[in-house]
Chain A
C-alpha cells in the first residue's frame, strides 16, 4: 500500500510540474488530468474513496473537459512565445515564499505526529454527506448561492446575445 501511495504521489507531483512547463496548451492539460487522477489514487489509498472518485469525476472528468473545450475553441497554437517572460526568476519569488509556509506546515505536522500513528479511517460517502448537511450546512448553502450567482450571470450573458439576434430576425420579417 505504501509503495502504491508513493508511486501515485510522485506521479501526481511530476505531472503537475510538467503541466506548468509544457508549451503546448493541450499537452499541459493532459498532464494536469494525469495529475488529478494520481491525486485521486492518493485519496483512495488514504481511506477516502468518495473524495477520490469525486476528484476524478469532477476535476479530471468535467472541469478539465471544459478547459480542453475552451483551448480547442481558441486554438492557441504558438501563444507561448508571447508568454516567455513568465519564467523569469523574479516571478517565482512570491509563489515560492507562499509555498514555503505550506512546506513548513507539512514538516511541522510530520514531526509532531509520532511515527506509525497515521489515523487511517475509512471515510465513506455517508460520513461525508452527514457532515456536509450537518455541521457544514451553512458553508454548503453559501457555496450553492455562489454557484447560483454564476449560473444567473452566465444565463444573462448568453441570453442578451440570443435575444438581440432574435430581434434582428423579427425585424427582417
Chain B
C-alpha cells in the first residue's frame, strides 16, 4: 500500500470544510427562518451577524459539561460521538466533483446506508443512558422512526441502482448525463427526501426531540460540547442528505458552463435551503401517523417504484 501526502490532505480538508460549513449553517438557518417569519434574526455580532456562531461556540465550550449522577456514564459520553463519527464517515463516499472525494468503493451506496443505520444508535443510547423518562421516550421514538425509515430509504435508492447497474457513486453520476434521475425515478426521489427528513429528525419529523411534550427528547440531559455535537451532527446530516439528493437524483456535479464543484455546491445549497423552508412551514405530525405514513404509503410506493423500474428495464432489454 502506497500512502502519499495528498491522500491525507484531501480527507482532512473535506472534514474541516464540512465542520465549518455545518457550524455556519446554524446561522444560515436562523437568518432564513427570520426572513420567512418577517423578523431580523441574529444580525448584531459581526457583518450580517456572521460571528454569532463564534459567540455561540465560545458559550458552548465554556459551559459546564455535566454528566448526571444517575446516567450510565460511559454510554452517555460516547453516544454524541457516534452521530459525528457515522455521519462524517458517510461523507467518505460523497463525490463533490471528479477527483474530490475521500474514497470510491464498488459498494459506495451500501456503505452510506450502513453508516446511516449505525447512526440510529446515537439517539437511542443517548436517551437510554440519560436515565430520564422523557429521554427514554425520545429514544424509543427515535429507534422506531429511524429503523423504519432506513428501510424505505434503502428501497428508494434501488431504482437508481437498477438504472445505473452499479453501487458506485461515480457510475451513478455518469449515468445521469443524458437525463437526471429525478424524472425517471420521481417516486424514488419523493420517498428518499421524506425518509431523509425522518432520518435527520428535523422539524416535520422531529418527534424524538419534540420540545413541547418531551422537554428536548433524547438530548435533554446533555450540555456543553456534548450537546454541541448533537447540534452540529444534525446539520452535518442535513448536508449529507442534501448532497446525496443532488448525487442520486439531480446529476451530481454535472452541468453546463460552471465548473463541476460549483454545480455541486449550488445544487446542494438549494436542497439545504429546502430543508430549512420545510422547518419554517410545516407542523409536526402525530407519532402514530408518522409510522402509519411510513409503512402504509412509503413502503408500497418504494416497492412499486422498484417493480415498475425493473419491468421497464427488462422490457427495454438492456
B37 within 8 A of A: no
B105 within 8 A of A: yes
Set A37, A50, A69, A124: member contacting B143, Cβ < 8 A: A69
Is B128 within 8 A of A68, CB to CB?
Answer: yes
A-B contact count, CB below 8 Å? Answer: 75
- Chain B residues proximal to chain A, CB less than 8 Å: 1, 72, 74-75, 105-107, 110-111, 113-114, 117-118, 120-121, 124-125, 128-129, 136, 139-140, 143-144, 146-147, 150, 154, 167
Is B107 within 8 A of A65, CB to CB?
Answer: no
Q: Nearest Cβ distance between residue A57 and chain B, in whole angstroms? A: 5
A9 within 8 A of B: no
Is B118 within 8 A of A68, CB to CB?
Answer: no
A17 within 8 A of B: no
A53 to B105, CA, bound (A): 11
Chain A residue contacts of B139, Cβ below 8 A: 72
Is B128 within 8 A of A60, CB to CB?
Answer: no
Set A1, A26, A57: member contacting B128, Cβ < 8 A: A26
A153 within 8 A of B: no
Count of chain A residues with a beta carbon within 8 Å of a chain B beta carbon: 25
Chain A residue contacts of B167, Cβ below 8 A: 125
Chain A residue contacts of B110, Cβ below 8 A: 50, 53-54, 57, 125
A42 within 8 A of B: no
Closest to B165 in A: A126
A91 within 8 A of B: no
Chain B residue contacts of A37, Cβ below 8 A: 118
Instruction: Give me 28 A-to-B residue pairs in the complex whose CB atoms sit less than 8 angstroms apart, sorted by A's number.
Output: A1-B1, A26-B125, A26-B129, A30-B125, A33-B121, A50-B110, A52-B107, A53-B107, A53-B113, A53-B114, A56-B117, A56-B118, A60-B114, A60-B118, A61-B150, A62-B117, A65-B143, A65-B146, A65-B147, A69-B124, A69-B140, A69-B143, A72-B124, A72-B136, A124-B106, A124-B107, A125-B107, A125-B110
Chain B residue contacts of A93, Cβ below 8 A: none
Is B140 within 8 A of A72, CB to CB?
Answer: yes
- Interface 1/0s, chain A 6-27, versus B by CB < 8 A? 0000000000000000001011
**Given A65-B143, A72-B128, residue A57 in contact with residue B107 (CB < 8 A):** no
